[in-house]
Structures are given as structure tokens and as C-alpha cells.
Amino acid sequence: MQRSDGVLVVVDIKTRARPVAYASDIMQMSVYCVLLMRCTGRPVAEYGYALVQSCGESKYIRANLLGEAAIVSLYHRYVAVRDGFFMSAKANSRPLCLSCAYATECGPQI
């Protein structure tokens, strides 16, 4: 989306049972923000919207986005975990553990 002053605003559409925006949504929109800035050279707002469609209704949820340095840091952490240089901690959330692709490798769930 574009504001009247020409600044781009990231909007990501999500469909789910409840009208909520998760931390992972903010990370994803933050990556889109960095990509838009780098690829277009245009200014991009430091906030974005998750347009969440739930039970036939749509709700815009505004979120402050992470900066480029934070996104690069998260990427380096991901690579370190993926390559075995860093052990990731278990999530402190049973629903996250139940939906995790690595649940069998991680051991007993919380």
C-alpha cells in the first residue's frame, strides 16, 4: 500500500481461525520491508499491517516492524542453529511445540 506522501506500507494477508497477528507475522513483514527498501530504493514505513481474515471478517492489525539490523541478526542466528553452531531453546508454549516441525527431535514437550 502507498501513503499519500509516497511512503510504502507493508500489508500481509493472513487467514486464520482467530484475528491475531503473531511475532512470526511481524518478522515476515519486516523482511518484506527490508526487501522493498533495498529493491525499490523507496521509503517504507516502520510499521505494517496484517490483514487477518477470520470467520468471514477482515481486521487490520498494525504492527511496528523490526529494523534491517534486527532482521540480519535473526538470519545469522537461524544459520547458526541450522548448521549446528548454536542450540535453540525449546519454546515455552505448548501450542508452538505441538505445531513445530522439530518436535520429535527436541524431546519431551512442555
- Say whether pLDDT at 21 is over 60: yes
The answer to whether 25 touches 50, Cβ cutoff 8 Å, is yes
- Say whether pLDDT at 68 is over 90: yes
Per residue in 26-51, pLDDT tens?
Answer: 999 999 999 999 999 999 999 999 99
What are the structural domains, with CATH classification, of the chain? 8-106 (3.90.320.10)
Quick one: pLDDT at residue 61?
A: 95
- Hey, what's the cell of 82? 541450522
Per residue in 77-94, pLDDT tens?
Answer: 889 988 988 777 777 777
- Output the pTM of the full model: 0.78
CA 93 to CA 15: how far, in whole Å?
22
Looking at residue 20, what DSSP letter applies?
-
Per residue in 51-64, pLDDT tens?
Answer: 999 888 999 999 99
**Ramachandran region, residue 55 (left: φ > 0; alpha: ψ -120 to 50; beta: rest):** left
Pairing of strands 8-15, 57-64: unpaired
Closest by CA to 29, choosing from 60, 6, 50, 43, is 50
Closest by CA to 59, choosing from 68, 50, 67, is 50
The answer to whether 45 touches 8, Cβ cutoff 8 Å, is yes
